[in-house]
Amino acid sequence: MRLFFISVCAVGFVVSIGGAQQISRKEPAVYAGTPRAARFTARPPGMRFRLRPPRQFSLAPLSEGELVRLAEPSARLKTGIRRAVAPHALASGAWETTSEGARIWRMAIHSPASRGMRVEFDDFSVGEGSVWLHDGAFVVGPYTGRGLFDDGHFWSAAVFSGSVIVEYEPAPDTPRELEPPFTIRAISHQARTALDATAGTKDPADFCERDANCYADWKGSMSSVGQITFMDNGDEFLCSGSLLSTRDNSFKPYFLTAGHCINNEAAARTVEAYWTYQTPACGGTPPASRATSSKSSVGAHLISSASPADGDYSLVLLTDVPAGTTFAGWDVTDPPLATALTGIHHPSGSWKRISFGERVADATNNVEGITAPGNLFLQVQWDKGRLEHGSSGSPLFSAPGVVVGSASYADIASDGTVCTVNPSVSGYSSFSNTYAHVHDYLENLPADLVTPAKAALSFTIANHTAAAAQTVQLVTQSTGQVVYKLRADASWIQLSGITGSLSAKTPGTVTVSVDTAQLARPGQYSSTVTIFSGAAPPQFLRVTAAVRVDQSNVLASITPNAVAQNGGQWSFEIRLAESAGASTRVTALKFDGADYSSKIASWFGTDRIAASGAIVAPLHGAGVFPHGDQYFEFWGVDDSSGQPWYRVATVTFQ
């Protein structure tokens, strides 16, 4: 047995926060909802006019390396991987004219054996035009303007198919375009998880899990619990979590999950939350997939998070939630030992389940090499049901709708199952610790907005030279002093300070610089600086870095060195490696002054060295054996700049 990340208190108790007393317990509230804009119900032209399927760009089947990546162990339940789409893929698309004279652009993307796909857009700028994704029946979008975050980059919602059709309809009177005003960088290939990879249609959850719909007292709490999918570091993951209400029932969609699930702004922006992935009633037929579940629009912002060593929680602000969802209440006092507790969650990425247990003594645990301090976690011993991968972040209730923790880790047997572990104890991040970090938001305290005087900063880095730092003014309309905090959302962004205060008369400033050592490869890098001020909505300063490398750095080496004769035979290899990120070509080669340039292609297999690549020439011979130091000379020209270079490598024969 080992631990893995999985991810009744009286109303009269009070706690003191910042010198003010607050009632410890908040009751849940049901969101009546407001209708979404009509544009979200519009159908794409291909479906409206019943057009034939467009030309399809098909990716290769998953490679052996991609299959290995899907099966790699992870603290989070992996459900898919990012697959890059070649720049020329958009050439598969084509313009068409509908029967009403509208001009549209369409293409299809296929990833063999995928169970669902999301699309990563970049340089997105369609103005009043619209972009949809669909499989002929299920539709997501339309996406307009500069995308979900007004910066040209975002991930679409999921289409549950191995192929997705992308349709772009320009706004009326848009000048004729040759190419669509966006690029497609990648797709997510949603696959079976490691737990059900060989199980066909078998439910991946373990046999002892219980249908949450079979317990009448908890049906109201079910709609506060959602399953989330998100992209992070090239993979797609599944976790659970719950909506949390504010003290005044503002229905701001704050969502609590685990810190080991969502811990950076880039991942938060890809969150898609599903609310009704569950049976229709006790004993009802389980849903075949999340496709029919009500869901939120894609996107969230990271408000606050902590590592497992500091409590393992994450609070994000979703874009929206469907009407009828419940915003869970909460209690900032930890339940006493032996208190009956309930968890509602999505085990192994399956549909919604419920588990029952009680609080047992605190314990500090080592979870996958990380210490989870006992004073920051509630230990729950299960009587019915268990937690599994995919349950991470799900709520722990002390009463229907009242959250006291969020799931962090659990027991697992050596064969990967959980139901045979007895007794089974899981660790939940204590909500009392979480509340101490996010109380401004949940109490919905008055706050003044702090914004950057400019929306974006751009840096240009050429051949690894440092870019000059830039200063941005931070402003507010408040006449009083406002305290703000800053968070760099990428490690290569460096800030002169992370907190301060300002007013309308005395703006603040922050100096932003870029760590070029972390941007070794050429390309476009983009991230944000998040600006917090109390419970005000987070504001963002976009930071981009264009990295250009047109001067190579070729390293020439010979191994072994020295070279020894063995039975009249000798052998060694020459390696030419490019380390700066600029492609180049070898134009000449000499050995002890003798010209062997004609041998470059045959010895190395090519005369070109890719950016950050290497070429190797294995050489061997017999007969005359040279002695002492011998010299290889190499000449070359860089592809981008035409800059010439020269290297010498010395090898000793003995």
User: What's the pLDDT score for residue 3?
Assistant: 53
Residue 254's contacts (CB-CB under 8 Å, 6 or more residues apart) are 243, 244, 246, 303, 315, 316, 317, 318, 438, 441, 442
CA 432 to each of CA 46, 64, 355, 518: distance values in angstroms, whole numbers, following the listed order: 52, 45, 21, 37
Q: Give the contacts of 610 (CB within 8 A, at least 6 positions apart).
A: 578, 583
- Under the banding of pLDDT at 50, 70 and 90, the label for residue 127 is very high
pLDDT of residue 131: 97
Say which residue, 50 or 380, is predicted with more confidence: 380
Q: How far apart are the first and last CA of the chain?
A: 57
What confidence category does residue 5 fall into, taking pLDDT thresholds of 50, 70 and 90? low
Tokens 């979200």 found at:
40
Q: 300-313 pLDDT, tens per residue?
A: 999 999 999 999 99
Please state the rounded mean pLDDT for residues 94-122. 93
Beta-strand pair 56-58/163-169:
unpaired
Q: What is the pLDDT of residue 193?
A: 40
- pLDDT, averaged across the chain: 90
Cis geometry, peptide bond prior to residue 335 (ω within 30 degrees of 0): no
Q: Quick one: pLDDT at residue 35? A: 54
Confidence label for 19 from pLDDT (cuts 50, 70 and 90): very low
pTM: 0.85
d(CA 15, CA 25): 10
pLDDT higher than threshold 70 for residue 197: no
Q: Are 154 and 191 in contact (CB under 8 A)?
A: no
pLDDT of residue 6: 61
Cα–Cα nearest to 110, from 96, 125, 92, 124 = 92
Lowest mean pLDDT: which of 22-36, 323-337, 552-566, 634-648? Answer: 22-36
User: What pLDDT is recorded for position 266?
Assistant: 96
pLDDT top residue among 307 and 102: 307
Taking residues 50-55, report their average pLDDT.
Answer: 91
pLDDT at residue 556 greater than cutoff 60: yes
Q: If you average pLDDT over residues 385-393, what whole number do you get?
A: 94
What pLDDT band is residue 100 in, cutting at 50, 70 and 90?
confident
Q: Which residue reads 């969230």 in tokens?
A: 300
Residue with tokens 């994704």: 133
Could you tell me the pLDDT band of residue 40, with boundaries at 50, 70 and 90? very low
Instruction: Examine the pLDDT at 24 and tell me if it is beyond 90.
Output: no
> CB within 8 A of 295, min separation 6: which ones?
157, 272, 273, 274, 275, 322
- In this predicted structure, what is the pLDDT of residue 470? 97
Report the distance separating Cα 313 and Cα 267, nearest Å.
15
pLDDT band, very low/low/confident/very high, at 8 (cuts 50, 70, 90): very low
Interval 433-478: pLDDT, tens? 999 999 999 999 999 999 999 999 999 998 878 889 999 999 999 9
Residue 567 has pLDDT above 80, yes or no: no
Structure tokens at 334: 């930890």
CA–CA separation, 107 and 105 (whole Å): 7
Give the pLDDT band (50/70/90) at residue 12: very low
Inform me whether the pLDDT recorded for 643 exceeds 50. Answer: yes
Per-residue pLDDT band for 369 (boundaries 50, 70, 90) equals confident
Per-residue confidence (pLDDT) for residue 192, from 0 to 100: 57
Residue 37 pLDDT > 70, yes or no? Answer: no
Task: Provide the pLDDT for residue 623.
Answer: 66
* pLDDT beyond 90 at 366: no
**Two structure tokens written together for 626:** 């040279």
d(CA 308, CA 398): 22
- Average pLDDT, integer, range 60-70: 92
pLDDT at 653: 84
Q: Write down the pLDDT at residue 119.
A: 97
Which domains occur in the chain, in start order?
2-28+195-442 (2.40.10.120), 38-190 (2.60.120), 451-548 (2.60.40.10), 554-653 (2.60.40)
pLDDT at residue 498 in the model: 95
Q: Is the pLDDT of residue 21 over 80?
A: no
Per-residue pLDDT, averaged over 217-243, amounts to: 96
Res 4: pLDDT: 58
In the predicted structure, residue 281 carries a pLDDT above the cut 70: yes
Which tokens in the block code for residue 215? 């317990």
At residue 295 the predicted structure's pLDDT band, cuts being 50, 70 and 90, is confident
Q: Which residues contact 568 (CB under 8 A, 6 or more apart)?
A: 622, 623, 625
Model confidence band, residue 562 (pLDDT cutoffs 50, 70, 90) = confident
C-alpha pair distances (Å), 136 with each of 81, 94, 246, 297: 24, 18, 40, 20
